[in-house]
Chains A and B, each alone.
Chain A
Amino acid sequence: MRKYGFLVLVISVLFGQSTIPSTKVRLLNNETVNLNELTNGVSIVSFWATWCIPCIKEIYAIEKLIQDNSYDISVVLINTDDAGKIPKVKSFVNSKKYLKGDNYHIIMDYDKRLYKRFNARPIPLTFITIDSEIVYRKRGFVNGDEQIFKQELDKALDE
């Protein structure tokens, strides 16, 4: 019996998927939406904070990649600042024209529900998803990561 249980577990782990959950989240403008509705098609999902410099560099690199390659993808930025920093997040977003675009979605996760669900510490933690299924996962950001993003996005868009 034990060996069957082990076999079931192995099969489930091997074939189990990791997806963006269907859960209500709050956007920066206070609207409530379902998270996986934002990740239809190919998307980038990233955990970030205003004090996190690698996160800010990564957001810039993602935008440059989208511009240079005319990618039609959704970018979901899950903010992990404290609730008292909402004005800071708003002014940061307002200072970047592209963050106000329709393909960018800023989610406020100050009760850290998503942060804990995805073990996001340390940030940035970034996913590439296809129809909410996570196909690539990366932690941290250093120069050169944008080349890896490009490869993974091209692969995802070809599927």
Chain B
Amino acid sequence: MNKYIFILFFSSLLAQVEYSSYLNFRYGDGEGDYAYDEIYSNLGITLNRPEHRFEASLSLELSNPPEIGLKEEGVREFLLGYYNENFSLELGDFYKTWGRGLILNQVMYQHLDFDTGARGVSVEYQKDDLILNVLGGESGIRKSTTLLGGYNPRIPNYFLDQNIYGSDLTLSSSGLIMGFSLLLTEQSDTDISSTIGGMRFEKPYNKGDLFLSFMHKRSERNGTENNLESDKGNGIYLSNINYIDDWSLTSNYRRYRIDIKDPSERDDIVNNYAQALDIQRSPTAYYQHSFKLLSRNSKQANLNDEVGLELELTGPLGDDKTLLVSYSKSSSTKGWHSDEFGVWNAEPLTTTAGNSNSLFPSSDKDSYPFDEFFIELNGYNKSGNVFYRIGFDYLSDTFAVLTNSDVSESFEVNKAITFPSMVNITLNDLWSIEMQLELQRAKKGFEVTNNGKSSFTSLLSEKYQKNTFVSLTANYSSKWSLTIANESTNSDEALSNFESNTWNSMSLTYRIKPDSALEVFYGSIRGGLDCTNGVCRYIQSFEDGLRIDYNVSFN
């Protein structure tokens, strides 16, 4: 009898428990050493009681090796949480964002192996117009860099562990939302610490809203002679939206002066102790592209030293079409000039008229100017069975200042024009097809001026790199999907003359259940930059191989 009571009791208790689990299996084997074998599994358990909720989640990884990152065989993440109406307590791996991320914005971009979560405790109290978050934990960040030995684009060789402690208070009053934040960090293996404080204000109004955020950072370290070095930096981000009926005009402005370094040290992520922290992912205000060639040509944000402006106009044309026009401009906050001995000196930015300018991005080559203009029209035809996107993009990026003296100038530039397009047609209840075509002409190399004589030296074997991406997908009955893709170029900086300039692939996807799918891919994928929100990573090409991706959810 007792056993039946036991079963009944625990069954009724556990019936209030919810389970969710997810499994992702990935396998790839290409030419050379490009092979991976990964299994990710997430298990979540929730116990719902009146006015209380307990959650536990566990992420396991079994990868040897993963496609990108270090091999893992065990617990990747866990989280235990208690939640009620006004209070939450989380113990384990947490991700928090304060305001729009100027001080704290923890992200996980697994495809870039960029994870800025922290393991520790986060407590949040919320009552009426007040939200208070207090947290403490340890964050471990890993990257691949050519500045250290053993560089491999797929395996990190730079590791940074730091303790973080902080609190954030959000208050609302009379339609004004205010936030105040303080964050302290200590690097575990060095004597580097930083204090970041800031505030933010948001004011929605009838036809739009205004957001303003400031931050100040102070960094300290023990120098080589045990003397205390310190450095200060600051950042400002301003965003304004104005609605004109269904149209929106958005303007974003940012000025980050956290760690201003000359061109020889600017990209040194290993030794610049006062640089912006990875747990601060301040808004970049660059357009985040979803077309393949444009995404690969994205701007890598410099959150240490950048002034930028983005204007975007978007709205409907008729019932089913949307027009988007975006313009982004940025530069460093100083121009750089070297003297006869090659010593770099910072100079104020100048406007095109030659006036001194400290607030807006400059077009002078000595200040890393970046400009992008993008326009896209997307929408449906009248009967709703054709969806299309067509666009145009112009990009100009000076991403390295190599020399800039009275007698010699040399800048590394990338200029590209891209025409992306796609169309998706529903043929009948069972069949639909999707075609994508992207054309790009790029100019990559060095603009050099010696004693008044200008020249351009291409990084490529051709003056212009011409890139083409074409894909065709057929979907059947929401179950089967077959994609054939081709990418080609007339010249690629990563290839020797003997390698192919064409990447072909074919993939077949079968949706086993509505939330479970199996994809089998065969062929090659071109390498290059992969960027998400200003975080970029070089991804090596995958040549002539097989990939299998299977994901399944249980409950």
Q: Which residues of A contact B345 (CB under 8 A)?
A: none
Chain B residue numbers with a CB within 8 Å of A64 are 384
| Given A53-B389, A87-B239, A144-B426, A110 contacting B432 (CB threshold 8 A) | no
Asked whether B290 lies within 8 Å of A51 as measured between CB atoms, the reply is yes
| Any B CB within 8 A of the CB of A157 | no
Known contacts A32-B126, A83-B99, A139-B551; A9 and B246 CB within 8 A of each other: no
Q: With A91-B314, A139-B551 as known contacts, state yes or no: A7 contacts B55, CB within 8 Å.
A: no
B520 interface contact, C-beta 8 A: no
Q: In the complex, what's the smallest C-beta–C-beta distance from B514 to chain A, in angstroms? A: 4
Docked CA distance A73–B508 (Å): 35
Assess A140 versus B126: contact at CB under 8 Å? Given A51-B290, A60-B380, A84-B101: no
- Nearest A residue to B11 by beta-carbon distance? A11
Q: A84-B533, A91-B314 are in contact. Are A30 and B288 (CB under 8 A)?
A: no
Query: Within 8 Å of chain A (Cβ to Cβ): is B477?
Result: yes
How many angstroms between the C-alpha atoms of A24 and B130 in the bound complex?
A: 13
B338 part of interface (Cβ distance < 8 Å) = no
Interface size on A, residues (CB 8 A): 62
Is B108 an interface position by the 8 A CB rule? yes
Given contacts A12-B17, A86-B100, A142-B478, contact A119 B243 (CB under 8 A): no
Residue B230, interface by CB 8 Å: no
Q: Which residues of B contact A138 (CB under 8 A)?
A: 514-515
Given A4-B7, A83-B101, A117-B55: A92 in contact with B314 (beta carbons within 8 A): yes
Q: Is B382 an interface residue (CB 8 A)?
A: no
B555 within 8 A of A: yes
- The distance in angstroms between the C-alpha atoms of A19 and B20, with both chains bound, is 10
Q: How many A-B residue pairs have CB under 8 A?
A: 191
A19 touches B426 (CB 8 A): no
Q: How far is the CA of A138 from the CA of B211 in the complex (A)?
A: 36
Q: Are B432 and A143 in contact (CB under 8 A)?
A: yes
Chain A residues within 8 Å of B551, by CB = 122, 139
Known: A12-B17, A13-B555, A139-B514. A30 touches B105 (CB 8 A): no
* A 88-139 contacts with B by CB, 8 A: 88, 90-92, 94-97, 110-113, 116-119, 121-122, 125, 136-139
B253-282 interface mask toward A, CB cutoff 8 Å, 1 = contact, 0 = none? 000000000000000000000000000011
- Cα(A30)–Cα(B289), bound, Å: 27
CB distance from A38 to the nearest CB of B (A): 16
Contacts of A21 in B (CB 8 A): 46, 48, 53, 55, 83
Query: Which of B283, B285, B315 sits near A95, CB closer than 8 Å?
Result: B315
List residues of B (488-530) whose CB comes within 8 Å of A's CBs: 511, 514-517
A19, A53, A86, A90: the one contacting B48 at CB < 8 Å is A19
Q: Across the two chains, which residue of chain A brings its CB closest to B106?
A: A111
Q: Give the CA-CA distance A117 to B18 in the complex, in Å.
A: 11
In the bound complex, what is the Cα–Cα distance between A144 and B138 (angstroms)? Answer: 46
Question: What is the bound-complex CA distance between A83 and B97, given in angstroms?
Answer: 7
> Is B19 an interface position by the 8 A CB rule?
yes
Q: Are A84 and B57 in contact (CB under 8 A)?
A: no
* CB atoms of A95 and B239 under 8 A apart: no
CA distance A94 to B3 in the complex (A): 60
| B155 adjacent to chain A (CB < 8 Å) | no
Contact of A90 among B14, B248, B430 (CB under 8 A): B248
Which chain B residues (105-141) contact chain A, with CB distance < 8 Å? 105-108, 110, 126
Q: What are the interface flags for B277-310 relative to A under an 8 Å C-beta threshold, 1 for contact and 0 otherwise? A: 0000111110011100000000000000000000
Measured between beta carbons, the chain B residues less than 8 angstroms from A85 are: 283, 288, 533
B384 to chain A, nearest CB (A): 6
For B287, the closest partner residue in chain A by CB is A88
- CB proximity of B493 to chain A, nearest CB, Å: 26
